[in-house]
Amino acid sequence: MTTAIPAGFAGRLDTRTSEREAFLRDETGLPGRTPRGVIRARSADDVVACVRWAGTAGIPVIPVGARTSLEGHLLARGDEVMLDVSSMDDIVSIDPADFVAVVQPGVTRKQLAAALVPHGLQFPVDPGADATLGGMAATNASGTTTFRYGGMRRNVLALTAVTADGEIHRFGRAVAKSSSGYDLKDLLIGSAGTLAAITELTLRLHPVPEAQGSARLSFPDVAAAVAAATDLIGSAVPVSRLEFVDSASIAALNRFCGDGLPPGPALFIDVEATSAAAMAEVLDDVDAIARVHGVVSVGRAQTATERTALWDNRHRLFPAIKAAHPGHQFLVTDTAVPYSAIAGAVDHAHRTAAELGLRVTTAGHVGDGNVHVVVPYSGGTLPRALAFSDAMVEYALSVGGTASGEHGIGLAKKKYLAAEHGSACDVMAAVKQALDPRNLFNPGKILDP
Amino acid sequence: MTTAIPAGFAGRLDTRTSEREAFLRDETGLPGRTPRGVIRARSADDVVACVRWAGTAGIPVIPVGARTSLEGHLLARGDEVMLDVSSMDDIVSIDPADFVAVVQPGVTRKQLAAALVPHGLQFPVDPGADATLGGMAATNASGTTTFRYGGMRRNVLALTAVTADGEIHRFGRAVAKSSSGYDLKDLLIGSAGTLAAITELTLRLHPVPEAQGSARLSFPDVAAAVAAATDLIGSAVPVSRLEFVDSASIAALNRFCGDGLPPGPALFIDVEATSAAAMAEVLDDVDAIARVHGVVSVGRAQTATERTALWDNRHRLFPAIKAAHPGHQFLVTDTAVPYSAIAGAVDHAHRTAAELGLRVTTAGHVGDGNVHVVVPYSGGTLPRALAFSDAMVEYALSVGGTASGEHGIGLAKKKYLAAEHGSACDVMAAVKQALDPRNLFNPGKILDP
């Protein structure tokens, strides 16, 4: 381990205005401030040196990767230095026999996926964006396959990280399970760079299923779609993706893609099986459950080409919504609720939107109770969009849910933390104080100050 | 919430010698000391009052449940008070629509399982012993189904706990996923009552599969059995249990049960499917993989009666070993290693045992790389048994594994913590100091002092 700050390390700080101003804005549209500068780390030693240099100088540090955060995790609030680890993008090892890969934090999801193809393996966490694995760990990312495979906590076995004292530590072990010591690995996952800077991740890989099939199921109403989803969850049918899309989303997709999808809310589903024959049977099981709930149209896809075509619609949802609202920005809610409250949450979204005069679309990872409402807004309607977000979070918390299913808290959702966690926020603050007493790491994110 | 210690709370302390001495010994055979007394909590308010009383008096507290710990978690080291929560055994709610149950910490695994039967649901974490759910959370328990369903971290959604300042907090939410705030829920799971006293748990329930089948596969040698297991893991066959038993264990079982199992190491496997027909296909897939690795005998079970009979052998393994070693105590190693090191770990166990003149048997949750070696010992051979444990942990750590796959650290495995986690132990100590600055909770477990 390095033990000192290399002479001249401060010279690594890129303070050009253009470089600093690149960090002024992110996906949230929230106002950021111009950071002091950017340090581009190329190794764990660089990260150690940067944290020690910053600690000595008393300058806070924000670790950044692909900057796909949706919650303002990476906006400077004052004089921070951006610690850019996106060039630490080596896939250190892929070990098919142990179902493990070791990566640097700047490796992106798609980069890893491509490297795993020859091994017939996958890293299943897919937040949509081509985020870095470090950023995905920092936000505890998940996505469409989380219902089947879990999110980052389940699929990161170990990580190395530099704490505020400039020491590098390994948290966790490269084994399927361990009950040794305090679970600091999972504490760092989701901590948004506020406790340490991640320098390496050890990931759990999974086999690609022998056969996968997909279905698009259209229902007369939201309640029927959600009831079918809940029955699927309870049926033990091997569902690997279970996505909900409301009728407003379907309308936007039909305008954008012209595929003439049946109107009405839909479920997009993937199932897994050990053979093509078994797959057909599993899809029959899905159909049978959907029929109980009055499914009005079933699209089935069994070949790779058919599956790509079916999912293309779901994947083009955000572009379709963007096309429908030129000149707008977009707020995306991220609440997760108990299954029994999903239909209520969707209903609440549409009624609240009507009251506020907003046009919203709803989609979500229904298998996880995670409801995303996309709210287009412009300068004039931002206050109403924020009021909408408040209403969705208030509803989620009232039924025992969470303000963030998968995007994290960052700056944008920080105001909901106390309502969700109550006095546990004090314990969170005690942990932050213990690990980062000088508030060196990404200050003001998740917790004040 | 209560805000004061009820008058006369100290009178709740049971100081009868017989009651105190009941805590002198546990499954480890390690020497304990006689605790100061026992407080039997009947409610969360009782736990709050006990922690406040103990805090005021400066007396450390050890939360205890069914006392099935295998690692000395519950042995007093000085003047502790045992905070017995085993009477807090209410199943607060079972909510089939949300796949959630809420239980008090003294509810046992079997008690919950019986209550879930009418709902067609299961809580899949099964450590073998009829432990309390609170104790299972405290040790991050797992077991035979963990390969499929995960351990306690994946299946406890939220918990309430009393911290050392006597405040009660809720950590986590009753939803499938959340990225809100620091993951203190998972920090408390596996912390062995050293950070807080758990007063309630919110659990994730799972449907019981439509069809389950089992197989017992006998192989010519350990390497073949482990290679078959690894291929099964990589095949995406829906395996829910994947257990390894060595030939010494099979010999002990044959002497004890008289079932004439084929000699040679075996895998015990459960698979899940959506129908009986699909089940037969899945078992054929298992057979095909086993044949590649030279399987010499296959026992297949598809009805509930057949499955019970097949698994009965596996479940009677410890009684069989006990019968083979009358008058002995038993040390059980708990290392977990990468898949590629399992065969080496088993080989290392038998060679080390031969060198030390010990007769050991090996079994394990091979799907998790978790290898248990049962070491019978008497007073005279205890030092050799401990040397054996050291050798197994040393091997596991040398290949990147862990000293504890599922039993936890407690007192018995504490000496291995630094070798496994290095400087991360300092961060663990900082967290302990932050949450329990006066070392009130279960002192000397996991970490010194």
| Whole-complex ipTM | 0.96
At B38 the pLDDT is 96
**Across chain B, what does the average pLDDT equal?**
95
Chain B residue at shortest CA distance from A194: B182
The pair of structure tokens assigned to A237 is: 């049918």
Q: How far apart are CA A411 and CA A447, in angstroms?
A: 9
Summarised one tens digit per residue, pLDDT across range B228-277 is 999 999 987 899 999 999 999 999 999 999 889 999 999 999 999 888 88
pLDDT of residue B165: 97
Nearest-CA residue of chain B relative to A425?
A: B181
Per-residue pLDDT, B385 = 96
Say which of A176, A190, A272 has its CB closest to residue B179.
A190
CA distances from B243 to B240, B257, B368 (A): 10, 19, 9
pLDDT score recorded for residue A4: 67
What's the pLDDT at B310?
94
Computed on alpha carbons and rounded to an integer, the radius of gyration of chain B in Å comes to: 22
A158-202 tens-digit pLDDT: 999 999 999 999 999 999 999 999 999 999 999 999 999 999 999
Q: What is the pLDDT of residue A283?
A: 95
Q: Do domains B211-314 and B325-408 have the same CATH topology?
A: yes
Residue A25 pLDDT exceeds 90? no
Tell me the chain A residues in contact with residue B186 when contact means C-beta distances shorter than 8 Å: 153, 183, 186-187
State the first-to-last Cα distance of chain A, in angstroms, to the nearest integer: 32
Looking at the partner chain, which of A167, A181, A417 has a beta carbon nearest the beta carbon of B417? A181
Residue B4's pLDDT is what?
66
Å between A420 CA and nearest CA of chain B: 8
Residue A2's pLDDT is what?
A: 44
Beta carbons of B336 and A178 less than 8 Å apart:
yes
Structure confidence by residue, pLDDT tens digits, A377-392: 998 999 999 999 999 9
Counting one residue from chain A and one from chain B, the pairs whose CB atoms sit within 8 A come to 309
pLDDT band at B30 (very low <50, low <70, confident <90, very high): confident
Q: What is the mean pLDDT of residues A356-366?
A: 96
Read off the pLDDT band of B346 (50, 70, 90).
very high
DSSP string, A18-48: HHHHTTS--TT----B--SEEEE--SHHHHH
Residue B2 has pLDDT above 80, yes or no: no
What pLDDT does residue B1 have? 44
* Interatomic CA distance for residues A296 and A298, integer angstroms: 7
Query: Would you tell me which CATH number, out of the four given (3.30.450.60, 2.160.20.80, 3.20.20.140, 3.30.70.2740), belongs to the domain B325-408?
Result: 3.30.70.2740
- Closest partner residue to B180 among A168, A206, A404, by Cβ? A404
pLDDT of residue B170: 98
Query: Which residue has 């080596």 as its token pair?
Result: A90
Least confident of A184-193, A436-445, B311-320: B311-320
B173 vs A contacts (CB less than 8 Å): 336, 400-402, 420
Say whether domain A91-207 belongs to CATH 3.10.50.40: no
Is the domain spanning B211-314 CATH 3.30.70.2190? The answer is yes
Residue A29: what pLDDT?
Answer: 78
Chain B closest CA to A253's CA: distance in Å? 28
Q: Do A150 and B150 touch (CB under 8 A)?
A: yes
Q: Which of A178, A368, A420 comes nearest B177 by C-beta?
A: A368
**DSSP annotation string for A262-324:** PSS-EEEEEEEESSHHHHHHHHHHHHHHHHHTT--EEEEE-SHHHHHHHHHHHHTHHHHHHHH
Kindly tell me if the per-residue pLDDT of A3 is higher than 60: no
Architecture of domain A211-315: 2-Layer Sandwich (3.30)
Q: Which residue in the set B179, B182, B206 is minimally distant from A404, CB to CB?
A: B179
Cα-based torsion angle of the residue sequence B241, B247, B250, B254 in order, rounded to the nearest 10 degrees: 160
Percent over 70 (pLDDT), chain A: 99
Q: Cα–Cα distance between A446 and B62 in angstroms, integer?
A: 33
Of all residues in chain A, the one with the smallest CA distance to B159 is: A424
The whole-angstrom separation of Cα A386 and Cα A433 is 31
The predicted model gives A93-109 an average pLDDT of 98
Number of H helices and number of E strands within chain B? 16, 18
Which chain A residue has its CA at the smallest distance from B120's CA?
A: A234
- The closest CB to that of A401, out of B95, B175, B274, belongs to B175
Residues of A in contact with B402 (CB under 8 A): 173, 175, 178-180
In degrees rounded to 5, what are phi and psi of residue A277? -65, -45
pLDDT value at position B91? 98
Closest Cα in chain A, distance from residue B19 (Å): 30
Find out whether B409 and B160 touch, Cβ atoms under 8 Å: no
Distance from CA of A237 to the nearest CA of B (A): 6
Q: B105: cis peptide before it, omega within 30°?
A: no
Residues A171, B147: C-beta atoms closer than 8 Å: no
pLDDT the model gives residue A9 = 78
User: Which residues of chain B make contact with A402, given a CB cutoff of 8 A?
Assistant: 173, 175, 178-180
Nearest to B340 among A97, A150, A235 (CB): A97
Q: Is the peptide bond before A437 cis (omega within 30 degrees of 0)?
A: no
pLDDT of A54: 94
Min Cα distance A160 → chain B (Å) is 10
Nearest-CA distance from A150 to chain B in Å? 9
Q: Please give, rounded to a whole number of angstroms, the shortest distance from the CA of A15 to a CA of chain B.
A: 32
Determine the CATH number of domain A325-424. 3.30.70.2740
Mean pLDDT for A423-442 is 98
From first CA to last CA, the distance across chain B in angstroms is 32
For chain A, state the CA radius of gyration: 22
Question: Which chain B residues touch A433 with a CB distance below 8 Å?
Answer: 434
**CB of A336 closer than 8 Å to CB of A373:** no
Average pLDDT over residues B427-440: 98
Candidates B121, B140, B182, partner chain A, best to mutate (most A CBs within 10 A): B182
Question: What is the rounded CA–CA span in Å between residue B197 and residue A276?
Answer: 50
Over residues B56-83, the pLDDT tens digits come to 999 999 999 999 999 999 999 989 999 9
Nearest to B234 among A170, A191, A207 (CB): A207
Q: How far is B383 from B234, CA to CA, in rounded Å?
A: 40
Residues B139-187: pLDDT tens digits? 999 999 999 999 999 999 999 999 999 999 999 999 999 999 999 999 9
Domain parsing of chain A, residue ranges: 9-86, 91-207, 211-315, 325-424
- CATH 3.30.43.10 applies to domain B9-86: yes
Q: Taking residues A150-160, what's their average pLDDT?
A: 98
The predicted-structure confidence for B201-222, as pLDDT tens digits, reads as follows 999 999 998 899 999 999 999 9
